[in-house]
């Protein structure tokens, strides 16, 4: 979003409520549609102010009472008029906002939901849903580790961050060691027979014949989140169960369609027992890609 944000630095503070670029970027991360409308409103305010100025300049002036004071007063009055005429229903703000939404692929979300559901892909393109600070912070926190893992495996960073977010509840439900410290295991990877490192034993939910059951299981514990990303990428790339899924993900760019294919591939390979795992994971990956676009 930030990379596509039109320049607003020249807007007059008196023409509108003067939202800074930093404020708009922050708003874009939380609620893209609201940020776009604010941008469009500022553009309309600038246009209306320039229109009022041109109209006044085209008006015959007597010159008898004109001075710097009256000029300043007229400018302030024009600014107030411009502010009053900005953001009205059916005005330029609506038109500009629609154009920006189309360019950024936000307005098309509602139109894509029905075909996606019909084709079996998750209807997870609800890009107008506001993002939370937690989601933005999580993506930014693990961006470096994910990019490094992508360089080694080819798996898109957005896919890995999305799965880490899904497995850990955006960092709120991390696997914990016995002393309460984080095991840094963001992907819910269990400690099987081939694992010789530290483990964290917790109670988790598994689905048996479609029924959720609480079980105690051992999970891998890491020294850092970077190590967690590296081990996850290595497992997907080298394991016979997941190698085909990882190879397919590495072939194309990250998108809603490829995210759905990645999630479905992991579920078919048995990554999780939750029957709705693919749909849930694809939705979180799509949210991760939204955060990346909004904070780029």
Residues 133-169 have pLDDT tens digits of 999 999 999 999 999 999 999 999 999 999 999 999 9
CA distance 146 to 296: 15
Report helix, strand and coil shares of the chain as percent, to nearest 5.
Answer: 55, 10, 35
Average pLDDT, the chain: 79
**Catalytic amino acids?**
206, 231
Average pLDDT over residues 239-244: 95
Backbone angles phi, psi at 206, to 5 degrees: -125, 150
DSSP summary character for residue 252: S
> Which of 73-77, 101-105, 187-191, 258-262 is predicted with the least confidence, judged by mean pLDDT?
101-105
Residues 29-85 have pLDDT tens digits of 666 777 777 777 777 777 777 776 776 676 655 555 566 777 777 777 777 766 776
Residue 182 pLDDT > 80: yes
186: Cα separation from own chain's centroid? 19
CATH code of the domain made up of 109-295:
1.10.530.10
According to CATH, where is 1.10.530.10 located in the chain?
109-295
Residue 237's pLDDT is what?
95
């Amino acid at each position: 979003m930030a990379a596509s944000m039109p320049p607003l630095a020249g807007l007059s503070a008196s023409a509108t409520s003067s939202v800074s670029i930093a404020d708009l970027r922050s708003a874009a991360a939380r609620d893209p549609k609201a940020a776009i409308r604010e941008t469009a409103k500022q553009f309309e305010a600038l246009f209306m102010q320039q229109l009022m100025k041109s109209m006044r300049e085209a008006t015959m002036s007597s010159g008898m009472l004109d001075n710097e004071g009256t000029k300043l007063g007229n400018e302030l009055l024009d600014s107030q008029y411009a502010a009053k005429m900005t953001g009205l229903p059916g005005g330029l703000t609506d038109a500009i906002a629609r154009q920006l939404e189309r360019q950024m692929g936000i307005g098309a979300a509602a139109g894509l939901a029905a075909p996606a559901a019909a084709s079996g892909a998750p209807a997870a393109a609800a890009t107008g849903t506001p993002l939370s600070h937690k989601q933005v912070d999580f993506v930014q926190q693990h961006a470096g580790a994910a990019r490094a893992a992508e360089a080694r495996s080819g798996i898109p960073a957005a896919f890995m961050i999305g799965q880490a977010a899904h497995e850990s509840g955006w960092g709120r439900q991390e696997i914990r060691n016995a002393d309460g410290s984080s095991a840094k295991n963001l992907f819910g990877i269990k400690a099987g027979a081939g694992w010789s490192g530290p483990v964290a034993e917790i109670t988790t939910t598994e689905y048996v014949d479609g029924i959720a059951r609480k079980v105690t299981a051992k999970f891998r514990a890491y020294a850092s989140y970077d190590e967690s990303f590296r081990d996850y990428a290595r497992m997907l790339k080298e394991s016979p169960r997941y190698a085909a899924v990882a190879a397919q993900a590495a072939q194309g760019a990250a998108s809603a369609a490829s995210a759905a294919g990645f999630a479905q591939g992991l579920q078919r390979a048995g990554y999780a027992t939750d029957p709705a795992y693919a749909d849930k994971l694809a939705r979180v990956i799509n949210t991760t890609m939204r955060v990346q676009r909004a904070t780029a």
